[in-house]
Amino acid sequence: QEKLVESGGGLVQAGDSLRLTCAASGRTFSSNAMAWFRQAPGKERDFVAAISWSSGSTYQADSVKGRFTISRDNTKNTMYLQMNSLNSEDTAIYYCAAALRFPVTRPQNYHTWGQGTQVTVSS
């Protein structure tokens, strides 16, 4: 069974950088897309960025373009999210998720989720 585990969250100051990691185990090749979502308190879970395992193609939300970079290492079954120029609006729990197709931005299209990692940006 596929399992996803996030790490790398923490408390940082505005303008700082942070890199999140998502380690996938038991991955099936039917899951071609991986993505990052985030959820702030009292808000819906929002799409951040997605990547194709096979091609490496990426897709990002407009709110993070130019600041966040998604990448993956197929040899390690690991996905990353490099986050630069963080601001208070980036404060949220960040989740990684797996889907069959790329790119999809709706949470309903993702079948496997990690437990999340907290990112807090102080201003």
Query: How does pLDDT run across 48-81, given as a tens digit for each residue?
Result: 999 998 899 999 999 999 999 999 998 899 999 9
Measure the CA–CA gap between 61 and 47, rounded to whole angstroms.
Answer: 7
Residue 25 in 3-state DSSP?
strand
- Amino acid identity of residue 83, one-letter, is M
Query: Does the structure show a pLDDT above 90 at 1?
Result: no
pLDDT value for 27: 67
Range of weakest confidence among 8-12, 52-56, 93-97: 52-56
Name residue, tokens 């380690």. Answer: 23
Q: How confident is the model at residue 28 (pLDDT cuts 50, 70, 90)?
A: low
Query: Does the structure show a pLDDT above 60 at 29?
Result: no
Nearest Cα to 67, choosing from 83, 44, 54? 83
CB atoms within 10 A of CB 114: 20
